[in-house]
Amino acid sequence: MFEAIVGGLTMLLTPQAMLFMLIGVIYGLMVGILPGLGGIVAMALLLPFAYGYETAAMLALLLGAHIATIWGSSVTGILFKVPGAAKSLALIFDGYPLTQQGHASRALGASATAALMGGILGAIFLAVSIPIVRPIMLFLGPSEYLMMALWGLTIIATFSEGSLLKGLVAACIGVLIAFIGMDPVTATPRFTFGSIFLLDGISFPVAMIGLFAVAEMMKLFVKGGSILDRDVTEQRSTVLDGVKDAFRHWWLVARSSLLGVWIGVLPGIGASVGGIAAYAQAVQTSKTPERFGKGAIEGVIAPDATVGANEGGGLMPTLAFGIPGGESMAILLIAFISMGVTPGPQMLTSNLDLVFAMMWIIVLANALTTLIGLAASPYLARLPAMNANIMVPLVLSVCFIGAFATRGYIEDVVVAAIFGGIGYIMEKYNYSRANLVIGMVLAEMIERNLHISLTLYGDSFIFTRPITLMMFIFIIVTTALPFYRNWRRNRAAAPAAGGGQ
Amino acid sequence: MSRRTQENLLAAALLCFFIGILVLSLDYGPRARLVPIPISVLALILLVSQIVWQNLRPADELHVDMLEFLTRRGVNPGESDRADKEPAAEAAPGKPAAPDIASGFGREAFAFAKVVVFVGLFLALGPFPAAFLFTFAYFSLSRHYHWSRALVYTTVFTAVVYVLFVEVLDIQLYHGLLEPLMNNF
């Protein structure tokens, strides 16, 4: 195994592979920053150019671009509340409040460092776990996936401060919006009103562009000034503070990375769920959960570490079984086949040096992205100070073109505008937009796995599958824990207050 | 229009939305409606509770915190980010809130109108002419830049966006609804 690790690194240490990785990373950062376009688009566009070169160089180009898009997406999420891709959604919950408070540099520094640490931990986990992951992967079924999605829903209470009822209503709206289009289980067109465009459903990136970016620009126009709060005239922290934050919360990074790896390993879950799940575990394990959603640095660190580690995990089923761990891994699978490399169990024996080369690409591309990111962060952090008169037309233009570019449908531009209006109204009347998006993300996973679980295991599947039951109890406990903590805190505070009077 | 009326109107619109979803779902097969029906029923119950709750509370306590109710958790007034969203809180000291609400509505209507205009331009002319016209008009009419400077900045911006999306990312262009008309000339 050690020989394969060294062999993998040697494959990468060629001028061509290094140059391709650099090109991939810079290109990935650019694509990541554009709203609606994520790693899948970046890899898909590079695919036609990635033939006729060294295998390691082609993989460095594709994976390097994909990894860099992750941090690129985080940048706009933190600075403008415009998540570049679905997987960076959780970054806006605390990243944007940090920007408003003048801590954009710190948030970007923490984000880049957490992504790097997550990426490295994910790669190490990939290397270590190759022999043990396979049986565990095969052991988990749709009912366990369903429980994981339900666990993601427990986060809703966090974003409902001010009105849990409205927060739950928003989540219901999100779930129902996700059902627009062809039902994948029964092939029934739902809520399409005969429209062919709606058969494909509402594009998630387009909805996000509308809900957050367009709505935020409308809000900025109404408010005037700039994104930064009026009393914040300069940055109150540095990139280095963010780097230190990521190291200070090393245990959170480790937990989130492990979560990211597992979500990557399980096919069909996707990093967008991973980011939300990471945020949920950060809130639930925090001693001060009330800080979340108002600019807690842990709310930036946890999702970025998870998404960074997700790539290592996603490679596992792709390489070992030929089952893509996510959409981007499906494109990588196409690249493998066109290079004459056949993924499957033999990949872990006959092509082990290539597997480790990919592990090294994840580590090096993450390091390169972080270096570039940390260097650029102080300049990027100045962007939110731009006046609304400049910001609104520029961001709106890029957002609407991005919405169109997502699928090439002109109707998506109208959808983005409609969601912009919905987002503005929701923000004004305190219906959580975050809950709507969480409902949208998890709805399909919940419905699909519920159907499969009912078919495979019967109506009482929760009680007949021990792991499902354990996960169900875990969900109930983690949901009840914040309520219990508050009850205990208030109980402890009541005699003190009474004594004081 | 008072805040309570606005909240009630929005809740009523959402109520119609969920009833519509419920009625539509009844037409689907048992598996296709397995999740939509319970979700819309749950949403209806939540919404009715919200309407009842918000109409039983004083006008200054419209943001019902069920979490606070369930856990008896208090929110420090200074920490609440809701307060600054209230029209009354935005009013300057000593001034009545009503004119601010009116001007707020005006700006909101203008914000919605801008988005509609941009989408209209996009549909009619295609993405890049729309981005150029909208950005130039915005820069000029807001008087942030002199028109000549606005023209230069807009041209550079549009060119950069064009290169990124069309040349680098190879996005297929949409030419707008007016293109067939233009071709006739």
Which of A26, A43, A179, A206 is the mutation pick for testing B, counting most B CBs within 10 A? A179
Unique residue bearing structure tokens 């990243």: A95
Task: Name the helix (H) or strand (E) containing B89.
Answer: helix B87-90
- B37 has pLDDT over 90: yes
- B100 has pLDDT over 60: no
A-chain residues near B116 (CB < 8 A):
417
- B79 has pLDDT over 50: no
Mean pLDDT, to the nearest integer, of A289-313?
84
Q: A325 lies in which domain range? A: 2-227+236-494
A-chain residues near B129 (CB < 8 A):
none
Of B35, B114, B123, the CB nearest to A221: B114
Mean pLDDT, to the nearest integer, of A318-326?
67
Instruction: Give A16's contacts (C-beta < 8 A, 6+ positions apart).
Output: A53, A54, A57
Nearest-by-CA chain A residue for B107: A222
Segment among A74-88, A220-234, A461-475 with least mean pLDDT = A220-234
* pLDDT at site B9: 92
- Give the pLDDT band of residue B66 (cuts 50, 70, 90): very low
CA A46, CA A66: separation in Å to the nearest integer? 10
Of B43, B53, B128, the CB nearest to A169: B43
Phi, psi (degrees; rounded to nearest 5) at A189: -70, 125
Percent of chain B residues past pLDDT 70, beyond the cut? 72
CA A326, CA A332: separation in Å to the nearest integer? 10
* pLDDT at site B87: 41
- B102 has pLDDT over 60: no
- B96 has pLDDT over 80: no
CA A289, CA A253: separation in Å to the nearest integer? 17
Torsion of CA A320, A270, A442, A200, to 10 degrees: -100
Q: A37–B169: do the CB atoms touch at under 8 Å? A: yes
CA A86, CA A209: separation in Å to the nearest integer? 10
Which of B66, B114, B147, B179 is the mutation pick for testing A, counting most A CBs within 10 A? B66
Segment among A156-160, A396-400, B173-177 with least mean pLDDT = A156-160
Torsion of CA A185, A191, A195, A198, to 10 degrees: -60
Check the CA dihedral B19-B21-B25-B27 and report its sign.
positive
**If we measure between CA atoms, which residue out of A106, A78, A104, A72 comes closest to residue A90?**
A78
Segment among A296-300, B9-13, B81-85, B104-108 with least mean pLDDT = B81-85
Instruction: Give A426's contacts (C-beta < 8 A, 6+ positions apart).
Output: A170, A211, A215, A432, A433, A436
- A338 has pLDDT over 80: no
- B119 has pLDDT over 90: yes
- Residue A422 placed within a domain: yes
B-chain residues near A186 (CB < 8 A):
28-29, 31-32
Nearest-by-CA chain A residue for B80: A162
Of A164, A397, A447, the CB nearest to B131: A397
Percent of chain A residues past pLDDT 70, beyond the cut? 84
- Residue A392 placed within a domain: yes
Check the CA dihedral A201-A263-A449-A452 and report its sign.
positive
Looking at CA atoms only, how far is residue B94 from chain A in angstroms? 21
A-chain residues near B35 (CB < 8 A):
175, 179, 443, 446-447, 450
In three-state secondary structure terms, A190 is: strand
- Give the pLDDT band of residue A458 (cuts 50, 70, 90): confident
Check CB contact of B40 with chain A, cutoff 8 Å.
yes
ipTM: 0.80
- Residue A499 placed within a domain: no
Task: Name the helix (H) or strand (E) containing A181.
Answer: strand A181-182
* pLDDT at site A495: 65
- B158 has pLDDT over 90: yes
- Give the pLDDT band of residue A486 (cuts 50, 70, 90): low
**If we measure between CA atoms, which residue out of A322, A302, A332, A315 comes closest to residue A261?**
A315
Of A166, A186, A214, the CB nearest to B29: A186
- Residue A421 placed within a domain: yes
- Residue A335 placed within a domain: yes
A-chain residues near B32 (CB < 8 A):
183, 185-186, 188, 190
Number of domain units in chain A: 1
Contact A171, A438 (CB under 8 A): yes
* pLDDT at site A315: 77
CA B31, CA B175: separation in Å to the nearest integer? 42
A-chain residues near B170 (CB < 8 A):
45
Looking at CA atoms only, how far is residue B178 from chain A in angstroms? 14
* pLDDT at site B72: 44
- A105 has pLDDT over 80: yes
CA A74, CA A450: separation in Å to the nearest integer? 32
Check the CA dihedral A271-A481-A447-A134 and report its sign.
positive
Longest dimension (CA), chain A: 81
Check CB contact of B104 with chain A, cutoff 8 Å.
yes
Q: A183–B115: do the CB atoms touch at under 8 Å? A: no
Contact A179, A443 (CB under 8 A): yes
For the full predicted model, state whether its pTM sits above 0.80.
no
Highest mean pLDDT among A102-111, A254-263, B15-24: B15-24
In three-state secondary structure terms, A33 is: helix
Q: A34–B164: do the CB atoms touch at under 8 Å? A: yes
Mean pLDDT, to the nearest integer, of B76-92?
40
For chain A, what's the residue count?
Answer: 501
- Give the pLDDT band of residue B88 (cuts 50, 70, 90): very low
Residue A44 or A370, more confident: A370
Average pLDDT, chain A: 81
- B71 has pLDDT over 50: no
Which of A165, A230, A391, A425 is the mutation pick for testing B, counting most B CBs within 10 A? A165
CA A58, CA A460: separation in Å to the nearest integer? 49
Contact A119, A366 (CB under 8 A): yes
Instruction: Give A287's contacts (C-beta < 8 A, 6+ positions apart).
Output: none
Q: B46–A165: do the CB atoms touch at under 8 Å? A: yes
The 10 Å Cβ neighbour count of residue B178 is 13
Q: Which two tokens stand for residue A11?
A: 């494959």
- A43 has pLDDT over 80: no
Integer CA distances (angstroms), B117 to A79, A211, A414, in order: 26, 18, 11
Chain A contacts in chain B segment 46-75 (CB below 8 A): 46-47, 49-50, 53, 63-67, 70-73, 75
Check the CA dihedral A435-A436-A439-A442 and report its sign.
negative
CA A268, CA A17: separation in Å to the nearest integer? 30
Percent of chain A residues past pLDDT 90, beyond the cut? 8
In three-state secondary structure terms, A498 is: helix
Mean pLDDT, to the nearest integer, of A316-343?
71
Looking at CA atoms only, how far is residue A62 from chain B in angstroms? 15
Residue B84 or B119, more confident: B119
**If we measure between CA atoms, which residue out of B184, B183, B179 comes closest to residue B122?**
B179
- Residue A500 placed within a domain: no
Mean pLDDT, to the nearest integer, of A446-475?
87
Q: A401–B18: do the CB atoms touch at under 8 Å? A: no
- Give the pLDDT band of residue A416 (cuts 50, 70, 90): very high
Q: B119–A443: do the CB atoms touch at under 8 Å? A: no
Contact A406, A206 (CB under 8 A): yes
- A153 has pLDDT over 50: yes
A-chain residues near B70 (CB < 8 A):
164, 483
Helices (H) and strands (E) in chain B, counts: 8, 0
Q: B50–A430: do the CB atoms touch at under 8 Å? A: no
CA A245, CA A91: separation in Å to the nearest integer? 15
In order, the DSSP letters of A249-281 are THHHHHHHHHHHHHHHHSTT--HHHHHHHHHHH
Mean pLDDT, to the nearest integer, of A293-299?
86
Check the CA dihedral B51-B57-B61-B67 and report its sign.
negative
Q: Helices B127-141 and B98-125 sit at what angle, rounded to 10 degrees?
A: 150
pLDDT in tens, A443-452: 887 888 888 8
- A427 has pLDDT over 70: yes
The 10 Å Cβ neighbour count of residue A153 is 22
Phi, psi (degrees; rounded to nearest 5) at A182: -75, 125
- B69 has pLDDT over 50: no
Highest mean pLDDT among A27-36, A90-99, A312-321: A90-99
Contact A72, A112 (CB under 8 A): no
